[in-house]
Amino acid sequence: MFSKTLPGLAGALGASALLFGAGPLAAHTIVGDRVFPATLTIDDPGVNDELALPSFSYLSTPNGDGTYNKQTGLQWEYAKTITADLGLSIGNGVTFQHNPQATGWSNLETQLKYVLYQNPKQELIFATAINIEIGHTGSSPSSALPADPFSTITGKLYAGKGFGDAPVDWLRPFAITGEVDFSSPTVNINSDGSLNPTHLTWGGSLQYSLLYQNSYISEVPDVFKRLIPSFEAILTTPVSWTGPSPATPTIPGVHETTGVVGPSLYYIGQYFEIGVMAQIPVNSDSGKHLGALAVLDFFLDDIAPDSIGKPLFGATHTSRY
């Protein structure tokens, strides 16, 4: 994620965090008969061996002076299982600012994720994670788009529930996922006196799996049978170290809740996933006009299940699709 330490650049902080989502993109998850895709705004609730390369983002972000800046981002993320319930991931990305033109690399992010509980029959899963954005690993403070010169530690909670156990067939393809994060920077006060807020981020998805419907309820046309349409949302609220609210806010995302919502669509292949989403800013502090997210995600646990696609310790992953 990109953020700015100078007051004149800090307006991009909230919007940039939303532009790239709550954290690294990660794996799809299988619980019982349910496939939870690697959603674009929040992480899915499981651990797997996958490579997201590339993921794409676009949004018109606020500068803080009433103008907006078009930003395009490219990111990558590699996720590796240590055991069937414990996974490690690492990733970062580059942002291209269009007016004025500038380029900057984000700090590296690494995440350790653990599945706390899963019930295959109920298609229910809970997980937790610790994410660290490592300061001084992205663009330098002297660059046009500097990365944070400090680290940020984020605690995360995940949940997913498929409705395959519902008593009526029309409900069974539905599923929901959710994520709640608390992010705390290791430096709260910069050398110029500006503040780095702590943030509470929460989001969710409502999914309808045509993949599930075709496999377990009724056959659908071939062109649709591997699709999972969804509606997603992610919101971020500064909760401390925000300073007094100015009479005329000039730093979007430092005092106000920001976020995006929108429809998304995922294609689940045997060895990969393609996902796209339309980003709709929830207010002017979140961005302007329609944005977009997209990802190409390779399932290493299906591509190479006996080598790089299996956990370092314990049982291997298997796919039902």
Q: Going from the N-terminus, what domains does the chain have, and what CATH number goes with each?
A: 12-303 (2.40.160.40)
- Tokens read off for 102: 């500038």
CA 213 to chain centre: 26
- Please answer whether residues 237 and 199 qualify as being in contact, where contact means their C-beta atoms are separated by less than 8 angstroms: yes
Burial class (CB in 10 A: 0-12, 13-18, 19+), 100: exposed
Specify the DSSP class assigned to residue 304.
Answer: S
Instruction: Give the C-alpha separation, 109 to 114, whole Å.
Output: 17
Average pLDDT, the chain: 87
pLDDT at 100 > cutoff 90 = no
Burial class (CB in 10 A: 0-12, 13-18, 19+), 255: middle
Nearest to 38 by CA among 154, 199, 240, 177: 177
The angle formed by the CA atoms of residues 51, 40 and 31, to the nearest 5 degrees, is 70
Residue-level pLDDT at 252: 56
The angle formed by the CA atoms of residues 30, 35 and 41, to the nearest 5 degrees, is 105
Residue-level pLDDT at 22: 40
Beta carbons within 8 Å of 120's beta carbon, 6+ residues apart: 31, 32, 33
pLDDT band at 245; cut points 50, 70, 90: low
pLDDT digits (tens, 9 = 90+) for 14-45: 444 444 444 444 457 999 999 999 999 999 99
**Integer distance in angstroms from the first to the last C-alpha of the chain?**
34
Q: Collapse the DSSP code of 216 into the 3-class scheme (helix H, G, I; strand E, B; otherwise coil) and give the result.
A: helix
Average pLDDT over residues 57-77: 88
Please spell the DSSP secondary structure of 241-252, one letter per residue.
Answer: S--SPPSS--ST
Nearest to 122 by CA among 85, 153, 162, 92: 162
Instruction: Give the C-alpha separation, 102 to 258, whole Å.
Output: 24
pLDDT digits (tens, 9 = 90+) for 273-284: 999 999 999 998
Nearest to 99 by CA among 69, 67, 73, 144: 69
pLDDT band at 154; cut points 50, 70, 90: very high
Residue-level pLDDT at 11: 38
Instruction: Give the C-alpha separation, 198 to 189, whole Å.
Output: 11
- Helices vs. strands in the chain: H and E counts, helices first: 3, 15
Instruction: Give the C-alpha separation, 53 to 300, whole Å.
Output: 12
The amino acid present at 97, given as its one-letter code, is Q
pLDDT at 141 > cutoff 60 = yes
pLDDT band at 7; cut points 50, 70, 90: very low
Q: Is the peptide bond before 54 cis (omega within 30 degrees of 0)?
A: yes
- Tokens read off for 212: 């599930």
Q: Give, in order, the Cα–Cα distances in Å from 180 to each of 68, 104, 161, 203.
A: 28, 28, 15, 7
- Tokens read off for 286: 């979140």
pLDDT digits (tens, 9 = 90+) for 202-244: 999 999 999 999 999 999 999 999 999 999 999 999 998 776 6
